[in-house]
Amino acid sequence: MFLAFLENAGYWEVGAHLMYILSVIMFMLAIMRMSKVKTARSGNWLAMGAMFLAMAGQFIEQMQLDKGFEHLPEFNWLWITIGLGLGAVVGLTAALWVKMTQMPEMVGLLNGSGGFASMLVGIAAFAMAAPEMDTTQGVAYTLADTPGVGWFNGINMVLTVIVGAITFTGSVLAFCKLSEWVNKKISLAQPKLIPGRHLINAFLFLGAMTLGVCMVWVAGGKAFGILAIILITIMALLLGFMLVLAIGGGDMPVVISLLNSYSGVAAALSGFTINSPVLVVAGSLVGASGIILTMIMCKAMNRSLVNVIFGGFGAVDTSAAKKDDGYKNVKSADAEEAAMVLADAQSCIIVPGYGMAVAQAQHAVRELADFMIARGCKVRYAIHPVAGRMPGHMNVLLAEANVPYDQLFEMDAINSDFKNTDVAIVIGANDVVNPAAKDNKSSPLYGMPVLNVEEARSVFVIKRSLGAGFAGVKNELFEKDNVRMVYADGRKACEDLIKALKEA
């Protein structure tokens, strides 16, 4: 009787909408807190709580509006439970087993999963509407004419499939590039510039959009609708693959942030498709924050957003560099020699890069910094916006090693301090510290903001070899008079430096 009273009074529906409002507020606060390393962890918890409230509110509203409490057995809890269970197992397994160095690949897969889910929502929405598209009295219905759909929902249905499919295959290919997946015939980590790719991309995009317009407004009926949605899905899947195929692995941080934006847009579109306001708001927040981050990353890499969207960047012309790819007057030092300089240093800036992630050296780096701080040295970390394989990659690794947040500085905040610093230690970074970006107009890096490492009084570059970075060009930093190369694995080099400092 009490449940019946609540149902008639509409309290359950009101409660569901209150949960939506609270969920949206929590999503906004979560994104705000995720913008700073110090509060990012609490932002994740807020986002998790927001998602739980949104799901709970959706269940309550669905039971209230569609079935009612007297029809609860008809609400398919079996499939819901299976879906939630599988998702929880996959997510928990990934969280427990993924390595910190694999986090960029994990983010790529999460973006792809969001896109895939949105694509399925669009296809499922069409499947529910398709039976109503049968011809009646010789008139072939379109989505705009279909009862319960209309032109607005029809457009969203098509766009949900297109954007979701592009996000899915683009993210899967980004995962392969980040993993540097290679077989005997092809390396996906390198950009693949297929002849006529722009025409192919234009055909796929315009073809999918044209079929979508026909589904919404041009007479066709159920049979045409089914064929169209299949072709749209295939075209969009191919388009996502083609767009990311032309982008090199070194530019994946920008691509990851862009695909994150796409996944948010796809979620927002699916929210319109199934009339879920909280999904629209949450997806819009992700889409907007993703595109803002993409623009920041483009600025940090001196890239054009148009190039990112349409692909084809990351394929640099290294012909000028190959004319003089040999290094001259490169000086090296062992751990003992470097320790002698570090022992007298009053200030130090550490520049982490992807090589640090590969070597799993973040804990050793923190121990080295702690030891130097104990000796009276001021230690800070300079974080380039695109260091690593995803936005914030270095921040995540250093936070995982419990590096104090107040020691982390973005490039703009610390770049002018290198000239007043006794020693700079570069660990695994390459292109983001290459002075050629500032003064060599023939370099593909020219115009990209880089860290002014060479301005420090002494510089030690910890690197296994003189191998080029993602841009494929020589690093002019290595030839500077105040730079010494320490040829070693990042973690081993830091451990050797600590040992040598203890003996100094």
List all residues 6 or more positions away from 257 whose beta carbon is below 8 Å from its beta carbon.
Answer: 290, 293, 294, 297, 390, 391
| Cα 377 to the center of its chain, rounded Å | 35
Q: What is the 3-state secondary structure (H, E, C) of 10-79?
A: CHHHHHHHHHHHHHHHHHHHHHHHHCCHHHHHHHHHHHHHHHHHHHHHHHHHHHHHHHCHHHHHHCCHHH
Confidence of residue 161 (pLDDT cuts 50, 70, 90): very high
Where on the phi/psi map is residue 428: left (φ > 0), alpha (ψ -120 to 50), or beta? left
Sequential DSSP letters for 116-139: HHHHHHHHHHHHHHGGGGS-BTTB
> pLDDT digit string (tens) for 253-294?
788 888 989 999 999 999 998 888 888 988 998 898 888 888
Highest mean pLDDT among 182-186, 213-217, 303-307, 327-331: 213-217
Where on the phi/psi map is residue 219: left (φ > 0), alpha (ψ -120 to 50), or beta? beta
Residues 477/452, Cβ–Cβ less than 8 Å: no
pLDDT tops 90 at residue 97: no
| Cα 422 to the center of its chain, rounded Å | 35
User: Looking at residue 316, what is its pLDDT?
Assistant: 44
Residues 244/311, Cβ–Cβ less than 8 Å: yes
User: Is the domain defined by 324-503 classed in CATH 3.40.190.80?
Assistant: no
Phi, psi values for residue 201, rounded to 5°? -60, -40
Q: What's the average model confidence in pLDDT over 30-41? A: 79
User: Looking at residue 250, what is its pLDDT?
Assistant: 60
Q: What's the average model confidence in pLDDT over 332-337? A: 87
For the record, the structure tokens of 407 come out as 């020691």
> pLDDT digit string (tens) for 436-465?
888 877 777 777 888 999 999 999 999 888
Name which residue leads in pLDDT, 37 or 374. 374
Task: Find the radius of gyration of the CA atoms of the chain.
Answer: 27
> pLDDT digit string (tens) for 265-276?
999 999 998 888
Phi, psi values for residue 347, rounded to 5°? -145, 145
Q: What's the average model confidence in pLDDT over 461-485? A: 82
User: Looking at residue 393, what is its pLDDT?
Assistant: 80
User: Looking at residue 144, what is its pLDDT?
Assistant: 83
User: Looking at residue 249, what is its pLDDT?
Assistant: 59
Phi, psi values for residue 9, rounded to 5°? -80, -15
Q: Which residue has the tokens 């796409």?
A: 262
Annotated catalytic residue: which of 431, 481, 489, 496? Answer: 431
Confidence of residue 429 (pLDDT cuts 50, 70, 90): confident
pLDDT tops 90 at residue 190: no
List all residues 6 or more positions away from 202 whose beta carbon is below 8 Å from its beta carbon.
Answer: none
Question: What is the rounded distance in angstroms from the CA atom of residue 412 to the CA atom of residue 422?
Answer: 19
Q: Which residue has the tokens 């979620």?
A: 267
Confidence of residue 314 (pLDDT cuts 50, 70, 90): very low
Q: For the whole prediction, is pTM greater than 0.85?
A: no
pLDDT tops 70 at residue 116: yes
260-287 as b/e, with b when 16 or more CB fall inside 10 Å? bbbbbbbbbbbbbbbebebbbbbbbbbb
Residues 80/339, Cβ–Cβ less than 8 Å: no
Q: Calculate the alpha carbon distances from 237 to 92, 114, 168, 241, 242 in Å.
A: 28, 14, 7, 7, 9
Q: What's the average model confidence in pLDDT over 377-405? A: 84
Residue 431 catalytic?
A: yes
